[in-house]
Structure 1
């Protein structure tokens, strides 16, 4: 019982010369809070209470012991646990035990807001009523010290409870079973405290952390105290009231609504946790598989051709006035001599044509001009005019190293090879966004290609640098405008035609990555939507039992679309758990914080980033051209960059569902010697 504190009143007089107090008179004195403790058991009586339950393991074990030894008890339950285990609460009541509330989520009540305080009480009572059809007037404050509060800042939450007509029930004997005590230590402490006259209300825990020692100590506590002549009684008997007054029945239409609502909330949390564990296990499985395949991979080698087949390098261009000149220049600097350059202007509206015509006197360069019809059409227009055996397709914003083309052409000595994927690096690492993309290219793209090369499961021969056997192109049906990622579409078609797709990491092209978030989102929207279209178009590859159908396309669907959609669920659960752990995890006289989300999920969640970091570190350290300092921005990439990719995936799926497609989006080009920039560091 509480009596409020009151302020005092006094008057003072000060000296005009010194400013010191010369006289004071008290009108009335301040009074502190006054707390009256009542309802103590008789000297030979003991009340056994449990906090933080119900728990499916520990509460069940406690109930079994109490039933076997015919001992009553009072359980102070958490609303969130009642919501999750309503049948267990009903069993407590049906077995004749009494129930009190212990808040909904076990916060430190003096450190939360007034509205949160009301939430904790309202929802804990509603959860209990919906589960048992009975309410309770008993309440025990989380983290309440034995003997009651000794500081005024811990009083106001108790005032709120008292104003609701609730009885605040304390405790006397509190073995700190949350500190890892053994069952023998817990039992010895309880018995000695009762015998020494420290009180007769015992507090144990049946929820929260590992409560096995508390459960194991219970039979010993009961038998020891009984042998000393103590009788176990109930709270209602010590207070001199009926059980029905302590736990009044509740009825009305709201009861059914609450029962349905709490059941739905509990099911939702269970499903979210199931999603979390599935994502974690699947993610770790993929990490292990990709890492193992990358390590097992043996680079494809082919016998020498003896002759150098003619190669046509196709450069489709649309409004590429800034980059086209350096792209053509880098190709002409190639150490592979038997090649021609075919520049296809796809209806550019800027100065692209004039920039490309700077090479009009170069015998190895020829031009094709057409109205704007899309990149796929520009590529097919060039392919239809070729008399070469190999076509190398290069984006106009890309520059190739001198040996890139020769490295790729070597593989076509093997007639089973239909295409060769080059290695793409970012050449304009000028800000954090481009640096994060550079790290992504080293890990998520090039490293994955090494893994899939081992099983002939490469999904994309990149448009920035890819070599194709012309006969394989024609057999597969050339590029197609049915998807936004014509390179992925054609790669799957060539693979399904029976050819092998290989990866040549020494064939390096340097590209210009988007420098702004807006440009990046535009690019990734097209990629995400186009890859989804390609996967759907080639879904029959699964029935053909080819690697791209059995492994690559399912992997893309799961980890390219489903995983990004569900990963925020895991992130949300971890934020909730981290909040409870960092903000609410206060250890006091009685127990520790009880989180809605198990704290072990935090440590499990860290396993996936740890695996991703291991891959990133390995990829960067084993990549001879990667800037090693890129690994330093990995934490920033995961926190900032990954959500941007999630947004792109979500936008792509919305576009796919609505039928609204994306155009051949273009990033603003800034130019510059990309290869030179890449070598600069």
Structure 2
């Protein structure tokens, strides 16, 4: 179920965006207009007749005219949320009725205006769904345009209509051999087609006087007047109505609906049953998609601010951090030369443990090594014993979990400074020495090292290499200066024993014991710093499933740790400082921002499908360029080869989505009160630190007798 919920959420979100694009898209709309064609196939009585064409009886087509002293005001392309209400207000003020030829797309987006039109006695006509020239369309596409529009007005006002006006139409005398077959087909579907014989040309915005002049018929003849309530600035149309309506009423004209003027039954037919509910469901879905998109736009703006703020902070503060620790004569205090204890918790680490221990034996700092075998079933402890390395002890315990193993190791440690690492990690000879030097400052309680991906030759490994260098180590430089380092990596970290004892040691309350202990250190008043030269090489997951398991645990554990230490927000002293600085930053940059980051790619896809394509691509490439600059700077600080950045664009497209789904699943697990178990990852033991012998041969891996 926990895997299904994120998928269902993503499917629903995608459906909402597609529906929104469907009713908004300028890409789906076809604005081609066919040039005039010969008129030989159009009956003469149609060309010379009135503006209303009734070909429901195909054998006897009729062209109907509007009686004298009758004006039918028609408004195309709406409803528009700004101008349609003003048009309706003007009509209501002068007790006039009109016909609104709505597009299905606009009617589905503004159903309240369609409902108001019907409620105030106006007639509704169809103007297609996406406003194409139907002479380019097949009969199946025409049927879709009609049915989709009827669905929209059924959901909005509970009616069907028999009135239709084709887009880009003018007078009935302009029908030709291309448009007449369309009119015939529309009639066969039960519609009356209403053209016009008085065009105000308000779409040109020629001025109020010009609109009134062009909308005024000659003498007392009846007329269908074409105006627009959407499609641009209609202020001149509204102003013209305020003068036109009283003027024409004073001349004895009546403003009626089309069917009233023709003495015909109403064009509206109430809908009931499934047709009504389908319409309501469609309009409701459009409304949800509109609001969803609005929320996503706000979220995209938020993630934009977060991304740029984070990049700016990272670049500025990491530069300051590098200058600080690399300036000549910098030191944390007196050099740390006394021996330290290195704890290696191990559970079924046979493939890696020998390489780990050998790397520690090459250390240029005096150490004792304690391997805590947490109930391994693959002979891990026996393999360590068989190595026969001096200064290496094995502590065996029943399987109790990593925090318990580390606490057991602390009890057996002989020295004040305790280094912790994972059983699949290897150290460089200088790692321990570099890692413990910050303890020369007595205010430092813990030190985070520089974890690096050793198996970076695969595509997933290369992506994680970028993430480690840019997303973790560049962050740590920033958090170091802000004094709110969120996590000491389990692969390479060191602690002052006194600090560990004061906070109660490693806790089993969360699945991210490294984040939990780091936050506890901050709250107890200790400084937590970053030692960039203390490099450790770890084996990152090599498959998507293993990566998913690891990041799911990390994400969920981080949320647990934030929740556990939430009281820091209201406490005083060091705890309060961390709570009001560190917790918000961790929540924003490690929980909220990754959850929203894929919106960049979602809107990339949306823009590619629905437009504007060029601006969308340019914006996405701009964000990628900023990320590339930050990544290149991080690689330069870590003295890494830039060649691995070749995979950065693909990482942003694919890897980010995986991390998003993982984080979403973590949120769902947390909100539903689910429990997550520690999941052991399969290791290969192929990682070695630079300058050390390559991993052991297959012969070394044989079971110990």
Q: Same fold (TM over 0.5)?
A: yes
Which among 280, 285, 290 is matched to residue 265 of structure 1? Answer: 285
The answer for unaligned runs of 5 or more in structure 1 is 1-30, 582-598
Report the counterpart of residue 101 of structure 1 in structure 2.
126
* 1:150, distance to aligned residue in structure 2 (A): 6.8
Paired residues for 1:153-552 under 5 Å: 161-170=186-195, 183-184=205-206, 205-207=228-230, 211-212=232-233, 214-216=234-236, 219=239, 237=258, 241-242=262-263, 244-246=265-267, 248=268, 250=270, 252=272, 257=277, 261=281, 264-297=284-317, 298-299=320-321, 303-335=332-364, 337-350=365-378, 352-353=380-381, 355-357=383-385, 359-361=387-389, 363-544=390-571, 546-552=576-582
* 1:441, distance to aligned residue in structure 2 (A): 1.9
* RMSD, aligned CA: 4.6
* 1:607, distance to aligned residue in structure 2 (A): 5.8
The answer for unaligned runs of 5 or more in structure 2 is 1-38, 52-64, 326-330, 695-705
* 1:306, distance to aligned residue in structure 2 (A): 4.3
Paired residues for 1:600-679 under 5 Å: 610-611=622-623, 613-624=625-636, 625-656=639-670, 657=672, 659-673=674-688, 675=690
Would the alpha carbon gap of residues 276 and 48 (structure 1) be closer, same or farther in structure 2, given more than 3 Å must change?
same
Would the alpha carbon gap of residues 627 and 365 (structure 1) be closer, same or farther in structure 2, given more than 3 Å must change?
same
Equivalents in 1 of 2:505, 2:133: separation in Å? 67
* 1:463, distance to aligned residue in structure 2 (A): 0.5
For residues 285-318 of structure 1, what are the alpha-carbon distances to aligned partners after superposition, in whole Å with 9 as ceiling and x for unaligned?
A: 3224323432453437654214524322222222
Equivalents in 2 of 1:630, 1:190: separation in Å? 68
For residues 467-512 of structure 1, what are the alpha-carbon distances to aligned partners after superposition, in whole Å with 9 as ceiling and x for unaligned?
A: 1111111111111223222111211222222212222333322222
Equivalents in 1 of 2:436, 2:631: separation in Å? 25
* 1:87, distance to aligned residue in structure 2 (A): 3.3
Would the alpha carbon gap of residues 254 and 488 (structure 1) be closer, same or farther in structure 2, given more than 3 Å must change?
same
Q: Is the 8 A contact 1:236 1:242 kept in 2?
A: no
Correspondence 1:53 to 2:81: no
Q: Is the 8 A contact 2:97 2:257 kept in 1?
A: no
For residues 88-138 of structure 1, what are the alpha-carbon distances to aligned partners after superposition, in whole Å with 9 as ceiling and x for unaligned?
A: 234434555432123445577789998886565445334434544554211
* 1:268, distance to aligned residue in structure 2 (A): 1.9
TM-score (norm 1): 0.75
Would the alpha carbon gap of residues 76 and 623 (structure 1) be closer, same or farther in structure 2, given more than 3 Å must change?
same
Greater Cα offset, 491-500 or 85-94:
85-94
Would the alpha carbon gap of residues 309 and 116 (structure 1) be closer, same or farther in structure 2, given more than 3 Å must change?
farther
For residues 593-617 of structure 1, what are the alpha-carbon distances to aligned partners after superposition, in whole Å with 9 as ceiling and x for unaligned?
A: xxxxxx79x9689868844652443
Correspondence 1:79 to 2:99: no
Would the alpha carbon gap of residues 565 and 283 (structure 1) be closer, same or farther in structure 2, given more than 3 Å must change?
closer
SS in 2 for 1:165: coil
SS in 2 for 1:422: strand
Would the alpha carbon gap of residues 444 and 220 (structure 1) be closer, same or farther in structure 2, given more than 3 Å must change?
same
SS in 2 for 1:313: strand
Equivalents in 1 of 2:580, 2:447: separation in Å? 21
Equivalents in 2 of 1:278, 1:406: separation in Å? 48
SS in 1 for 2:516: helix
Greater Cα offset, 184-193 or 50-59:
184-193
Report the counterpart of residue 17 of structure 2 in structure 1.
none
Report the counterpart of residue 17 of structure 1 in structure 2.
none
Number of matched pairs: 617
* 1:384, distance to aligned residue in structure 2 (A): 0.9
Would the alpha carbon gap of residues 87 and 672 (structure 1) be closer, same or farther in structure 2, given more than 3 Å must change?
closer
Q: Is the 8 A contact 2:340 2:419 kept in 1?
A: yes
Greater Cα offset, 265-274 or 377-386:
265-274
SS in 2 for 1:53: coil
